[in-house]
Amino acid sequence: MYSLFFLSLLTAALAAPSLAPRPTSDSSSCMCADDAQQVASNFQALIGQPFSATLAEAALAPTFTDYSDSVIELINAGCPGPLTLGNPTFTSRETFIQGQGKQAPIPFQILNLYNTCSAVILRWRSSAPGFVQPEQQVTGIIILETVANPDAAAAASQPWLIETVYSEFNSGAWLIDVGNFTASCNAPTRRDGAFAGRMHASIRNVGRRTLL
């Protein structure tokens, strides 16, 4: 039933570049586990604590760019605009400071942490991202691409700077949490077998289009 769908996932996985083995601390060209933890903690602090422009200046590359269709979906409140999916949400360190600096902190827990030589991968969860009760937890994945700090003096405390962020999460739950969407939990079409059948058919069609 799901053979085409899973075959499409396998094809995509084989075509995608694999993650490099986790580097050891004696690798001069790769970040070590402690470096990765620092990069992750820096980003967690920028989002989950009262905003610090000083930390942003120290931890982000000047060419910082952030991509997140999930964030764009929140900004658009589920509508087609005003922002276009696929475009960056921030295009520099300064625009991040100006934008994120106006936002309330969103505490989140780091569930898993992995790294390659120059990238950090987080799996995270926020139990309280909004104000509608009861709140639905939001879980997501963040990839932080980094560059070595070119400033030798600053590199002593911040050896790796975050240059590009790719972040996606359960924006549907977040839209509910901030009051932009009300779920129809008792709607018959959400509970009957016909709806489940349509969802399975949609998944199969995605698999077929991927293979063509």
3-state secondary structure 63-132: EEEEECHHHHHHHHCCCCCCCCCCCEEECCHHHHHHHHCCCCCCCCEEEEEEECCCEEEEEEEECCCCCC
Fold of 31-181: Nuclear Transport Factor 2; Chain: A, (3.10.450)
Write down the pLDDT at residue 9.
37
Over residues 125-144, mean pLDDT: 79
What does the chain come to in residues? 212
Query: Do the beta carbons of residue 207 and residue 176 sit within 8 Å?
Result: no
Position with higher pLDDT, 9 vs 139: 139
For residue 212, pLDDT over 70 is answered with: no
**Long-range contacts of residues 181-185, Cβ cutoff 8 Å, at least 24 apart:** 181/77, 181/78
Give the position of tokens 């075959």.
Answer: 7
Residue 95 predicted with pLDDT over 70: yes
Contact 8, 206 (CB under 8 A): yes
Question: Which residue would you say has higher pLDDT here, 171 or 97?
Answer: 97
pLDDT tens string 104-123? 898 899 999 999 999 999 99
Residues 15-34 have a mean pLDDT of 58
Tokens for 130? 């909004």
Q: What is the pLDDT of residue 7?
A: 37
Of 57-61, 118-122, 170-174, 175-179, the range with the lowest mean pLDDT is 175-179
Looking at residue 66, its pLDDT comes to 98
pLDDT at 154 over 60: yes
**In the predicted structure, residue 78 carries a pLDDT above the cut 90:** no
**Position 18 confidence tier, pLDDT thresholds 50, 70, 90:** very low
- The number of beta carbons lying within 10 Å of the beta carbon of residue 5 is 19
Q: What is the Cα gyration radius of the chain?
A: 20
pTM: 0.73
Instruction: Give the residue, 202 or 156, on which the prediction is more confident.
Output: 156
Lowest mean pLDDT among 23-37, 51-65, 67-81: 23-37
3-class DSSP assignment, residue 11: helix
Query: Is the per-residue pLDDT at 72 higher than 80?
Result: yes
